[in-house]
Every structure is written in structure tokens, then in C-alpha cells.
Chains A and B, each alone.
Chain A
Amino acid sequence: MSTRSAIDVVARRAYGKLLASLAVRTRDIASAEDALSEAFLAALTQWSEDSVPNNPEAWLLTVARNNAVDAVRRRDARHQASEELVRMVAVADCDQQDLPDERFALLFACAHPAMDEVVRTPLILQCVLGFDADTISNAFIVNPKTMSQRLVRAKRKLRDSGVQFTLPEPEQLSERLGFVLESIYAAFSLNWDASKSSSGTRSERSDFAEESVALARLTARKFPGQAEAHGLLALILFLHSRRDARRDHAARFIPFSEQLPAAWDMDMVEEAEASLRRTADFQEPSRYSLEAAIQSAHVAGRLKGETDWRRIIGLYDVLLAIAGSVGAAVSRAAAVGELNGPQAGLEALDAATESLSETQRARYQPAWAVRAHLLSELQQRDEARDAYLRAAALSNDPSVKAWLEEKAHAL
């Protein structure tokens, strides 16, 4: 393996771990990033085909630590505090085989409630999952300069505000984990329709999903006593299991009801079901667990050939009681349409979007798509066509747009 490839492999596998090791004590992520990238550069020149170190991660960590110490000395020569800092940064046994995983400390810091909501997920993508700033700004459809400024500001806040880089106290764990899980889900959802970005290759974008799944697995393993950790993992696994079934060979959109289960990753479905079963051990229903249960019911319906819509509506009722959202209410309305007929579905749909303003209702794509389907079931062709076209116009994804337009013209 060439030096370059060896470095790429280590970077992929260990960037987050290495950065966390450097950053958790000083809370200074930006300096840790600098020290680490210098270490990677050193690896590029000092490793050669014949002598990639036995423990490349430990090598990188040692070099990065030395870089960090030098930087502190240069920057803070006058301050007594710098000796403290130097001692903290230099401590640790660089010969140890298995680097301790301090990524969770970094994760909780990035997702701390004191951090600006819009920056938590980008920060996690960059610092814990090792994605570069350009890829991240493309994914969020944000100007790279803006994203870069947000990240700089966020790291400064983490350095200066006294946010702790540790696991939360037990009383706070559930609440704090909620923010972490939210960010993992947001990172996963970034890839939802990977075809839409013009820059950022497909493989980069699908890696967001892969990395999010990996992180969700780690989180469930680290916090087995937290229902939502299992719930989120189950949900993400259900969604990811269908990654190859959503588009046909011509990149046309395939809705769930028309997907071939043969195209699903059934091992992943099994894993999702197992995670879902874990959530049943906990008394209280929770948001992600309910969403995963709904997924499971849909999957079972597709495999059996008959969907238990009553059960699905029941699950949505519980979900809406604990975590109301217009999206969930609209999905519930679609299920009502299946169980009780399209007229009932339309009534449920109107109730679902009641809380939106006129403008919001006009722009909320999922409601238009469901409305279109219900109207076509009622043979109200003109209104259905209009609704399909409105849904299409509001769709960001070209293949979804095309599918909706086709439905409109077929009427």
C-alpha cells in the first residue's frame, strides 16, 4: 500500500479519535486541528513504502502532541499557565496500543445546548467524523465562507466558555444525549437524496450516512441504558437498509410502496428490528423508538403484503402526543386515508396543517404530495393534477419531481 493510501486509511478510521485525544484537555479544537494536520503532513514525508509505523495512530498522536506543546510555548511564553498546559498536553502514554476513545467527550461538547443549533451538526461532521469544510458547506447548501465563520466562532466558544469536554452527569445524560442523537440524525439525513448536490461526489455524500450509522451504533453500545440511543439506531438502520431501493437503474424515484424488498439490505433490517426490540425494555415510549416502530410496521406490511394501518395510526397518535410535528401529522393523515378512505384522509390532512400559516401551507411539499394522492383516489382529477404539480414544483430532488409530474400527467 502506498504511503498516501496508508495515511488515507488512518485518517478515515482515526481522525476523530486523534482530534478528540488532543482537544478534550485543552478544549482548543482549532489548535488541535492544526497540530494534527501538521502531523499528517509529517507522516507524508517521513513514512515510506517500507516503513509505515506499526502503530500509525500512536505515531501521529505523539507528533501532534509535540506540535501542540511547541505551539503553546510559542504563543504563551509569558504566561505561567502555559506550563500547566504543556504538562496536560504532553501527558498520556503514547505507547499504548489502544487509544482511549474520547470522541464522546468531544461529541457532547459539540452538541452542548449552549452551542448555536445551526452549528452543532456541522461541528460534529468536521471534528468527530473528519469531513472537510467544503463538503460540509455543500451538504448544508451554505456559502463556504459563512460555514467557515460559523465553525471558527463555535470552536472559539468551546475554547473560552468553559463547556466541559466530558460525559454528562447521570441526571443530565438523557437530555444531553438527546442533542447528540439529534445531530447524528441530522448528519444522516443530509445524505437522504444524495443525487441532489452538484459538487461533492456521490461517494462523499453517501459516507455521511455510513458514518452516521457507525456513530449511532457506537452510541447505542456506549449508552445501553438509554432507550433513544437504541431508537435512533433502529430508525437509521431501517432507513439506510433501503438505500439501494430508492432509485432504479435509470435514477428514477421509487416510492416505498413500489420498492422491491429484494433490493433492501435485509441484514440491516434484522439489525434494526433487534435494536427496536431493545427499546421495548424501557417503559416510556420515546420519539425515535416510535418512529422506528412505525418503520417496522411498514416493512412488515410490505413483506406480508398487508399493512396494519390501524397499528401505524396508533403509533403516530402516541408520537404526536410526545413530539408533535406537522410532518408526523401529515404522515398519519396518509395512513388514515389508507384505513378509512381518502375523504377521511383529507380531513386528517387539513387538521394536520392547521397550525401552519398560509404561506407555510403553500410551501409544505409533503402535504401537497399526500393531498394529490388522496384527491386522485377520490377521482377528483383536476384538483389532483394541480396538487401533484404543486408538490413537484416544491421538490428539491429532480427524480422525485419527475415522478410527481408523471403522476400529474397520467391523470
Chain B
Amino acid sequence: MQYALLLYESLEDLASREGEGSSAYWDAWFAFSQSLVDAGVSRGGNCLQVPETSTTVRPSLSDGRVQDGPYADSKEQLGGLMIIDVPDLDTALDWAAKVPIGSGAVEVRPIFNPEVGACPVKDAESNAKV
């Protein structure tokens, strides 16, 4: 099953991308990304530029509102995402726990697969050790 790891970083951690402590920051992220690749579970992902570079669009508003800045004005901001392919939620959660997210949070959300629909197929062999 594919999961998105949505990486919400604190503003302090985002700020540490540059200047002092930045090599520690990037080293940690490269190491983690590599560990996903080494484990064969990585299916892609991206680091995003800092939230200040964002522009948010709300097409439903009459003036097709374009606004400077990220979607939400919150203490933690989306810093990137990673896609992994693992057998079940517990495995995804184990990987999420290893993310060098500092004081931030990792949201783990299953990816919708239009082929399968809402009901994920489990290999009958891997079923219950009940």
C-alpha cells in the first residue's frame, strides 16, 4: 500500500535550512531519504521550498483570489512529502517515527488508488496469524 508522509516542520527547523546548523539539518534528511531507498520502500517525494515562497489560490472566490503565502497561517508548515510503499499502516508508522522532523509532525495518509477503489487488497497468504 502506498502512503504519503506529509512533513510538517516548525518554523525554527525550516529556518535552520540555512546558516549555522544547516549541514546537520540536510545531513539528517539525506540520510533518512537514503534509508527509504535502501529499504526499497521509496516511491518518490520532494522537499518543498520554504513557506514564504508559496502562493495560495482560491478559484471559488469571485476574484479568483490569489494570496501571498502558504495555505494555513500556522506554527508548523508543510516542508515536503515522501511516498512509500509498505504492507500496512504499522510499517508506515514505524517509518514516520524515524523521520528527522524535529519538533514537528508527520502526517501519514494512504494514497488513493483508482484501480483498487476504496478497498485495499491484501494478499490472502499474508493473512491472519490469528
Residues of A that sit less than 8 Å from B by CB: 24-28, 76, 79-81, 84-85, 87-88, 91, 100-102, 104-105, 112, 114, 159-167, 172
Cα–Cα, bound, A161→B122 (Å): 12
Q: Chain B nearest CB: distance from A127 CB in Å?
A: 15
Q: Chain B nearest CB: distance from A18 CB in Å?
A: 15
- Which bracket fits the contact residues of B? 20 to 34
Closest to B127 in A: A25
Q: Given the complex, which residues of A lie within 8 Å of B87, measured CB to CB?
A: 162
Q: Given the complex, which residues of A lie within 8 Å of B92, measured CB to CB?
A: 162
Stretch at the interface among B25-33, B66-74, B109-117: B109-117
Q: Given the complex, which residues of B lie within 8 Å of A27, measured CB to CB?
A: 119-120, 122
Complex contact B130–A24 (CB within 8 A) = yes
Q: Is the interface of A mostly helix, strand, loop or mixed?
A: loop
Q: Given the complex, which residues of A lie within 8 Å of B88, measured CB to CB?
A: 162-164
Interface residues of B in 62-117 (CB under 8 A from A): 87-90, 92-93, 110, 115-117
Complex contact B121–A81 (CB within 8 A) = yes
Known: A25-B122, A28-B119, A88-B124. A164 touches B89 (CB 8 A): yes
Top 9 nearest A-B pairs (CB, nearest first) are: A162-B89, A164-B88, A105-B130, A162-B1, A162-B88, A84-B121, A81-B116, A163-B89, A88-B124
Cα–Cα, bound, A87→B121 (Å): 11
Task: Judge if B118 is at the interface, Cβ distance under 8 Å.
Answer: yes
Q: Chain A nearest CB: distance from B70 CB in Å?
A: 26
Please pick, from A79, A162, A166, A167, the residue contacting B115 in the complex, using a CB distance under 8 A.
Answer: A79
Known: A162-B3, A164-B88. A85 touches B119 (CB 8 A): yes
Task: Judge if B61 is at the interface, Cβ distance under 8 Å.
Answer: no
Complex contact B124–A101 (CB within 8 A) = no
Q: Chain B nearest CB: distance from A87 CB in Å?
A: 7
Cα–Cα, bound, A163→B124 (Å): 15
Residues of B that sit less than 8 Å from A by CB: 1, 3, 87-90, 92-93, 110, 115-122, 124, 127-130
Cα–Cα, bound, A171→B25 (Å): 31
Complex contact A160–B130 (CB within 8 A) = no
Complex contact A91–B117 (CB within 8 A) = no
Known: A80-B115, A162-B3. A85 touches B121 (CB 8 A): yes
Closest to B93 in A: A114
Q: Chain B nearest CB: distance from A267 CB in Å?
A: 31
Complex contact A25–B117 (CB within 8 A) = no
Please pick, from A101, A162, A167, the residue contacting B120 in the complex, using a CB distance under 8 A.
Answer: A162
Q: Given the complex, which residues of B lie within 8 Å of A114, measured CB to CB?
A: 89, 93
Known: A105-B130, A164-B88. A159 touches B3 (CB 8 A): no
Complex contact A87–B128 (CB within 8 A) = no
Cα–Cα, bound, A166→B88 (Å): 11
Q: Chain B nearest CB: distance from A27 CB in Å?
A: 7
Cα–Cα, bound, A114→B89 (Å): 9
Q: Given the complex, which residues of B lie within 8 Å of A91, measured CB to CB?
A: 124
Given A84-B121, A91-B124, A166-B127: 4 more A-B contacts, CB < 8 Å:
A114-B93, A163-B89, A164-B89, A165-B128
Closest to B122 in A: A25
Closest to A163 in B: B89
Q: Chain B nearest CB: distance from A99 CB in Å?
A: 12
Q: Given the complex, which residues of A lie within 8 Å of B110, measured CB to CB?
A: 160-162
Closest to A103 in B: B130
Cα–Cα, bound, A160→B93 (Å): 15
Cα–Cα, bound, A163→B88 (Å): 6
Q: Given the complex, which residues of B lie within 8 Å of A160, measured CB to CB?
A: 110, 118-120
Please pick, from A79, A87, A165, the residue contacting B117 in the complex, using a CB distance under 8 A.
Answer: A79
Q: Chain B nearest CB: distance from A221 CB in Å?
A: 15
Q: Chain B nearest CB: distance from A258 CB in Å?
A: 46
Cα–Cα, bound, A79→B115 (Å): 7
Q: Chain A nearest CB: distance from B6 CB in Å?
A: 14
Complex contact B115–A101 (CB within 8 A) = no
Cα–Cα, bound, A104→B130 (Å): 7
Closest to B92 in A: A162
Q: Given the complex, which residues of A lie within 8 Å of B115, measured CB to CB?
A: 79-81
Q: Given the complex, which residues of A lie within 8 Å of B118, measured CB to CB?
A: 159-160
Cα–Cα, bound, A114→B109 (Å): 11
Cα–Cα, bound, A161→B127 (Å): 16
Q: Given the complex, which residues of B lie within 8 Å of A25, measured CB to CB?
A: 122, 124, 127-128
Q: Given the complex, which residues of A lie within 8 Å of B121, measured CB to CB?
A: 81, 84-85, 88
